[in-house]
Structure 1
Amino acid sequence: GAALPLHTEWFPGWHVAVLRAGRPEGDTAFYLNGYERHGHRHADTLGIIYYAYGKELASDRGYIWDDPRNAWTSCTMAHNIVVVDGSNQNARDRRSRLELFGIGPGVEVVQASASAYSQCSQYRRTCVLVQLGGDATYAVDIFRVTGGKQHQYCFHSNGNLVGLSTEPPQPIDRQHRWLKNLRAVRPRSPFRATWQHQGVRMDLWMLSDVERLIVADAPGWRSDSGKELHAPPVQQILAERNSKSPAGGDGGQDTLVSQFVAVLTPSTRNRSPVLAARLLVNDARTGAVAVQVTLPDRVDTILSLPKSGKVSCSAATLEGQFGFLSADANGTVRKAYLLNGTGLHWEAGSLRLPTASVSLRVSSVAGRTFHLAEPLPPKLEIDGLYLLAADTGYEVESTSRDSIIVRDYPAISCREIRIPLAARFPAPSRTDRSE
């Protein structure tokens, strides 16, 4: 049959992002699930799944129909996500909002927020997939949460947990309906957890401070029949922060503010491709994050803010919402990307834009076309960028004087669209496309 037209994209109706690392037919796919609540949905808005080397590593347990055990597979804690106050996501209208989507040289980024918990004023996830050549990738995961009194960053991978860089976790006197063999340790950050699955290794580097790390055996079954009916357990970690803990960073106030920052590194070798990962900035007040990832032949820097602002670290200064730098062993920047910003500056160079984004009034919508109330600004090159409309987004396919045609999907009715602008180094040729 015909090959599927796979590419990195945001599905505007489903609110699902898939990042494919520049290789649509390859063996990598990173999913951010932002879809809204409905009858067959799990309580996992902003959960992630990570396929690498053709294997599902960071996984979803699936849908097991009317089996009573779907009380576990559908709950928030069964997913790769942040759980607030030990409960399922509880907001009645659990929708997500796309805030940023971009494809740069060797990097792809998506950011979405959600009204997942009624006690949270912020529940926001930024995911960055970085290419290393061939099928090799790593991901940076930034989860910002404000509200509630306890936050648990939950993560599990298929396979077995084979390594933990902390002291050995000790059994704790705590009962849970689904989680067994609970043990805990007070880790010093950064720490690393390693899973092994069918010849593929998955490392999670937790860079931000947490009060307690819980390790547990979670149900591994994924079906109500066949060999998955009684599948062995998977090992899950819960990186925990509490409002009254010193690690809370909130001055002991009742409202907890967390910025979980993790690096996920799959590999087919016995060691991670990442030699070191450091958190250079983690400012809960502004939301600013800067991460440095050291690889055998280069050093990458990722800078992120929840909204356009300013963050500086030893490698660069970002005036915007997202920036990426990759420097070789001699410190020469080989790749750079600025999204929704006016400047990304490093020692020997910079990327600049006259404005971070462009907002345009919409007069009408027909099919895949947004008809604009006024002409597009002159010399505005937006083909291949993502526009934001209502709570979702679309890739721009082409433009005319007063209209924008988007790729693949019907345009949503709205009064205004906003287009986060991008700059990249090296600059793309005229024949380059996002995919």
Structure 2
Amino acid sequence: MKGERRFKAEWQDGQGVTKLVTAVVLLSLTVCLWLGGWATMGEPSPKSRSAFFHASLLQRLRQNIARYRWAQQTAQRIVQDAQPWLQMSDDELWSLMFGPTIPRSWHVWSNGYCPACKKPVPMYNWRVDALRYRWKVQCPHCGKLFPTNDFAAFYRSGFNEHGIFDPKRADRSLLFNSEHPDPNDPLHKFGVDDGEGYVEGENRWRFIGASLIYGQWKQLVLGGIKNLAAAYLVTGDKVYARKAAILLDRVADLYPQFDFRTQAVVYERHLGSNGYVSIWHDACEETRLLSLAYDAIFEAIRDDNELVEFLHRKAVGHRLPNPKATFADIQRNIEDGILRDPLRNEHKIHSNFPRTPFTKAVLLAVLSPDDKEPVLKLLSETLQQATAVDGVTGEKGLAGYAAFATRAIAEMVALFDRWVGGMGDFLRWALERFSLRETFRFHLDTWALQQYYPNIGDAGAFARKVNQYAGVAFRKLPADADAIFTPSMFTLFWRLYELTGDADFVLLMFIANGERFEGLPHDLFAENPEAIQNKVAQIVAEQGAKFQLKSVNKPKWCLAMLRSGEGENERVVWLDYDAGGGHGHFDGMNLGMFAFGLDLLPDFGYPPVQFGGWDSPRARWYVMTAAHNTVVVDGKNQQTGSGMVTLWHDSKWVKVVRASAPQLVGGQQYERTIALVDINERNFYVVDIFRVVGGALHDKLTHSHFATVTVNAPTKPVLTPTKYADTPMRQFAQIALSQLPRPSSPVPRPLQVDWQIEDRYGYLPKGKEVRLRLFDLTENAEAFLCEGWVALGINTTEEAWIPRLMIRRRGNAPLASTFIAVLVPFEGNQSPIVSVRRLTLQTPDGTPYGDANVALEIPHADGTKDLLVAMDTENPLKRLPEFNREQIAIQPDWGQRITEPFCVIRKDAKGRIIQRVPTR
């Protein structure tokens, strides 16, 4: 969820501009502090108790710590994590928070390198350890710390009367490389950053701007508040609560003055990205965490006179508008600055749905724990929208943004299930009204081989595994002790099982726990964890430890997944039949395949924004239609839109999906039929029939994994086609289809392309080889090999060129094409399919059906043969004969009368028909 994609650059960065922004910030801060006045910030809050950390919950927490070793270990870790802040003086804690007068940066340099060792350090790869190295970032390669100057001294020299850094007051004589203090030393200014960045020629490294966010803010300030509040919860020691309150109150003094849009840069420029200290998506999460930490310590600080004395002294000494003379003043300050300000300025926490309404609901509940109606109304509206698309929001990025949404839903319903102002059983209430069972099944139903998700939209990396269920973040104790403010997803899934009876939720718990029962449900607040462990063990023993997943179609999300095989023989073929949408790509009718432990038809995944941001050519490439396993019409990207499934069949050995979406290309037909046909337990093949009508140029593109490619015909280098001159595709070579082998027949064999997979990630067992063979039977076409560019992930500059196949048809508009391919993945050197032959189809009176009506003979290596027939039921050009009118087709070679739009017939080696699968 890092970075920003929705806005274009509004103005470019520069020191003069940044100084102007600093001056404006200081002026606005002063105006707010002195002219606004604390008395106008609103009436005293009605809050008198905690909303989410009520006495009965804390009692259960302390009982678990007293009773269970795992809870004791977790509590010890939480207390240990809080020690650095506990050992700081109150003055030190108060001074950790900074003002908005130093430009912040979401990256040091998004596609940059270390100025010392020159090795690439893109995106978020700089190391930050603020407790150890204050105001520093560290190169992950050579270990060099930047900036090289003592920024802490420079920072302290610039404080104004309100305790805020003013760069005009700071002592610039302190700006030198501490290791090279001699002004005559050529390295005297190397790596020096005054807050504007270190500049070398045209390059700028924003060491301080990034360390301000990732070090000072996220680790020292937020980390301190979170760890101190957590330590209070597990110990009941009010000293931790007081110190957390000191930090919270100082944040509240300054939080409203932060405006990421005007004060910070992303991808080296101002993108108009909203937020507070952090960019919008993190600001939303951070604001919610701050409010929950305040709620956690509220009942411990409301009578703390020592806290009032300290904050009053600070307020007077630094001439702050709120004197902090009473706890009511402090309460008003924290609630106005951290809770009410985001409610007034929702744009600063506007994030991926439903995270913003989730945060708003928490803010409202924390402010007024017993005011149920507005919170329930907001939650109800949010859940209605959040579950409207097959149980999810409809946002793309299957294991990314789509999963972020389900995780937010999970955290929301789990947190409000323990809300003191609720109805006592919020989860049951929500399940009865919304599609929550579908919500949490979504990322199970779309999880392939328990190793992969289709990289649909902004998610994942090329051919990479996702070994964990993406729908929620299961956190274990004591390892994830800092998750105390996030309800246990193990507990949530146990509750989902209790309320729905769906044992797959229990199995997800079991698998996420390493297929163990010990430690479940990893929840300090759990009621009777031993009973849960025993019941989980009983259910797993009765139901088994393996999911029994079937083929699935998500009609609103527009994803079909065909499944077959079990265990290591499991295979999944998927079809994405829409384009665009939130975090979506122009990838309509994109085809994918998982088999033999690999992603054999991988989507490229999350755009490589590390090469210059969302608008960079390489990031745009990943979004283009031409970057996907689909058909490009007239060299253009698809239009945003959704298709529909027009045929679905799921039998024992044949699985079929046909989807149609002509609006994606502004044509009359854009329809893809995919059939997954089992040969035996181990082997299978896929028939791919893609019908396109409209435009004058149709290019079908196919790529697999990292691989070397061989083809059964000569090739000749050619120039990159004009339509793809602006894409990272290269090394085009035309395949001489006229020279395909003709061993014993005047009809040439089909084009055969073999990908021999290169297992760069080491996913395969040693010595195992996997190949993907494609037979293409498209008529009147040209064929080309080429290479396409991919990155190996988002936090790396590693890149590769992968082989691709392009089948091209051209003619007068509206051009009608029927692309036909058979894909056969297999291990070793022997394909289970010998070849493929196209056969004719005719009416009973002998009139031949047109090219869009397909009959294939597919011989197996063991002598078995399949006949596959797929009739064109759309026929937008109304070509005769028309199957919808005739309702019958004859295949003379097999002597078969076909009355279904799709069927597969199988003969054994002796020519006897042994299986027939008709579909309608």
User: Taking structure 1 as the reference length, what is the TM-score of the superposition?
Assistant: 0.71
Counterpart code for 2:696: K
Gaps of 5+ in 2: 1-509, 512-545, 739-748, 760-768, 842-847, 874-883
SS of the equivalent of 2:799 reads: coil
Alignment of 1:311 with 2:889, yes or no, is: yes
> Do the aligned partners of 2:775 and 2:835 also contact (CA within 8 Å) in 1?
no
Cα distance in structure 2, aligned partners of 1:233 and 1:173:
15
Alignment of 1:40 with 2:583, yes or no, is: yes
Cα distance in structure 1, aligned partners of 2:589 and 2:570:
22
Deviations 1:178-198 (A, max 9, x none): 101122134146201110113
SS of the equivalent of 1:73 reads: helix
Cα distance in structure 2, aligned partners of 1:329 and 1:111:
30
Partner of 1:404: none
> Do the aligned partners of 1:84 and 1:117 also contact (CA within 8 Å) in 2?
no
Point out the structure with the larger strand share.
1
- 2:909 alignment partner, one of 329, 344, 347: 329
Equivalent residues in 2 for 1:210-359, closer than 5 Å: 210-226=780-796, 229-243=797-811, 253-281=812-840, 285=850, 287-297=852-862, 298-307=864-873, 308=884, 309-313=887-891, 314-315=893-894, 316-340=896-920
Counterpart code for 2:602: S
Q: Alpha carbons of 1:25 and 1:274: their partners in 2 closer, same or farther (altered >3 Å)?
A: closer
- 2:621 alignment partner, one of 46, 58, 72: 72
Superposed displacement of residue 162, structure 1: 2.7
SS of the equivalent of 1:306 reads: coil
Q: Alpha carbons of 1:140 and 1:168: their partners in 2 closer, same or farther (altered >3 Å)?
A: same
Alignment of 1:10 with 2:559, yes or no, is: no
> Do the aligned partners of 1:120 and 1:148 also contact (CA within 8 Å) in 2?
yes
Partner of 1:132: 679
Deviations 1:280-323 (A, max 9, x none): 13888473111110002200011111325433222222112111
Cα distance in structure 1, aligned partners of 2:680 and 2:592:
21
Cα distance in structure 2, aligned partners of 1:213 and 1:184:
6
Cα distance in structure 2, aligned partners of 1:329 and 1:304:
24
Partner of 1:181: 731
> Do the aligned partners of 2:838 and 2:856 also contact (CA within 8 Å) in 1?
yes
Cα distance in structure 2, aligned partners of 1:337 and 1:24:
25
Counterpart code for 1:183: A
Partner of 1:201: 771
Superposed displacement of residue 274, structure 1: 0.9
Cα distance in structure 2, aligned partners of 1:121 and 1:186:
31
> Do the aligned partners of 1:124 and 1:145 also contact (CA within 8 Å) in 2?
yes
> Do the aligned partners of 1:110 and 1:128 also contact (CA within 8 Å) in 2?
yes
Q: Greater relative contact order: 1 or 2 (C-alpha under 8 angstroms, separation 6 or more)? A: 1
Deviations 1:214-244 (A, max 9, x none): 2111012252213xx423111011100101x
Deviations 1:74-100 (A, max 9, x none): 11111111111111112x4x1111101
Superposed displacement of residue 58, structure 1: 1.2
Q: Alpha carbons of 1:284 and 1:165: their partners in 2 closer, same or farther (altered >3 Å)?
A: farther
Q: Alpha carbons of 1:194 and 1:105: their partners in 2 closer, same or farther (altered >3 Å)?
A: same
Partner of 2:572: 29
Superposed displacement of residue 36, structure 1: 4.8
Equivalent residues in 2 for 1:57-136, closer than 5 Å: 57-64=600-607, 66=609, 67=613, 68=616, 69-90=618-639, 92=640, 94-136=641-683
Deviations 1:320-345 (A, max 9, x none): 211111110111111111111xxxxx
Counterpart code for 2:821: A
> Do the aligned partners of 2:871 and 2:901 also contact (CA within 8 Å) in 1?
yes
Superposed displacement of residue 172, structure 1: 2.5
Partner of 1:379: none
> 24-33 or 328-337, which moves further after superposition?
24-33
> Do the aligned partners of 1:42 and 1:76 also contact (CA within 8 Å) in 2?
yes
The CA RMSD over aligned residues, in Å, is 2.1
Gaps of 5+ in 1: 244-252, 341-435
Superposed displacement of residue 173, structure 1: 5.6
Q: Alpha carbons of 1:260 and 1:98: their partners in 2 closer, same or farther (altered >3 Å)?
A: same
- 1:158 alignment partner, one of 705, 713, 730: 705
Cα distance in structure 2, aligned partners of 1:109 and 1:103:
7
SS of the equivalent of 2:900 reads: strand
Superposed displacement of residue 10, structure 1: 1.0
Superposed displacement of residue 23, structure 1: 3.3
> Do the aligned partners of 2:713 and 2:737 also contact (CA within 8 Å) in 1?
yes
> Do the aligned partners of 1:35 and 1:96 also contact (CA within 8 Å) in 2?
yes
SS of the equivalent of 2:867 reads: strand
Superposed displacement of residue 26, structure 1: 4.0
- 2:750 alignment partner, one of 181, 185, 190: 190
User: Taking structure 2 as the reference length, what is the TM-score of the superposition?
Assistant: 0.34
> Do the aligned partners of 1:145 and 1:257 also contact (CA within 8 Å) in 2?
yes
Alignment of 1:167 with 2:737, yes or no, is: no
> Do the aligned partners of 2:579 and 2:638 also contact (CA within 8 Å) in 1?
no
Superposed displacement of residue 213, structure 1: 1.3
SS of the equivalent of 1:219 reads: strand
> 144-153 or 9-18, which moves further after superposition?
9-18
Aligned residues: 327
Q: Alpha carbons of 1:284 and 1:46: their partners in 2 closer, same or farther (altered >3 Å)?
A: farther
Superposed displacement of residue 30, structure 1: 0.4
> 201-210 or 257-266, which moves further after superposition?
201-210
Cα distance in structure 1, aligned partners of 2:731 and 2:851:
38
> Do the aligned partners of 1:22 and 1:106 also contact (CA within 8 Å) in 2?
no
SS of the equivalent of 1:77 reads: helix
Counterpart code for 2:837: R
Counterpart code for 1:39: G
Q: Alpha carbons of 1:336 and 1:24: their partners in 2 closer, same or farther (altered >3 Å)?
A: farther
Partner of 2:470: none
Partner of 2:341: none
Superposed displacement of residue 159, structure 1: 2.1
SS of the equivalent of 2:901 reads: strand
SS of the equivalent of 2:778 reads: coil
